[in-house]
Amino acid sequence: MFTGIVTDVAELAVVEDHQGSLRRLTIHSAYEAAGIAIGASIACSGPCLTVTAVGARPEGGCWFTVDAAAETLARTTVGAWRAGLKLNLERALRIGDELGGHLVSGHVDGVAEIIARDDVTDEAGGAWGPTARFTIRAPASLARFLTEKGSVALDGTSLTINSVERDLFTVFLIPHTLQVTTWGGMRPGTRINIEVDQMARYAARLAEAREQGY
């Protein structure tokens, strides 16, 4: 389980295909190697992936590998990832950790697309950096789970939905988020992993069951 609060922007160093349907990814991170156990779960720009190997890097931080199976490659953006790509990382939530975003499972529901980006400079001339409003198109099957002021996880980042119109919705990112995640480099046409709010999913399922009489 995760919160959608990114704790490192890492780099995808190596992409290797194994056994036809398995892809092994080697990621360079600022995390300390000693703090990562084999089998640990790390959210990598959305998908929850399992660490299969880890080691320290001479320049600091660590490298670790994760494997992406056919289902992950088909349902997320992972299949299009290439070496050099920047990734939002989050370690799994521990009992007692602060829940700063919203509950995120790391089970991606689909792939959305950025339609527009509008940068806004504050009245002080950008003293704190620009903010940005993104317009995003969700898969049609997920549109019913999106609601104004609701939560959504996009490429592993917990964000608040500002407005919704059919399958289009907007999110507004502050300077800090643009600086400490991959969102600073996001542009129209970029495909991103989307995970809808679990509470919205459960509410929709309960309503559907009530309508069907069970």
Task: Return the active site residues.
Answer: 2, 41, 48, 50, 69, 107, 160
Between strands 8-18 and 86-91, the pairing is antiparallel
Query: Please, which residues have CB within 8 angstroms of residue 128's CB and are 6 or more apart in sequence?
Result: 122, 175
CA distance 192 to 166: 18
Query: Please, which residues have CB within 8 angstroms of residue 185's CB and are 6 or more apart in sequence?
Result: 86
Instruction: Name the token pair of 90.
Output: 């989050």
Phi and psi, residue 176, nearest 5° = -60, -45
Partners of 110 in the β-ladder: 194
Between strands 48-56 and 62-68, the pairing is antiparallel
Query: Please, which residues have CB within 8 angstroms of residue 82's CB and are 6 or more apart in sequence?
Result: 12, 15
The answer to whether the CB of 88 falls within 8 A of the CB of 158 is no
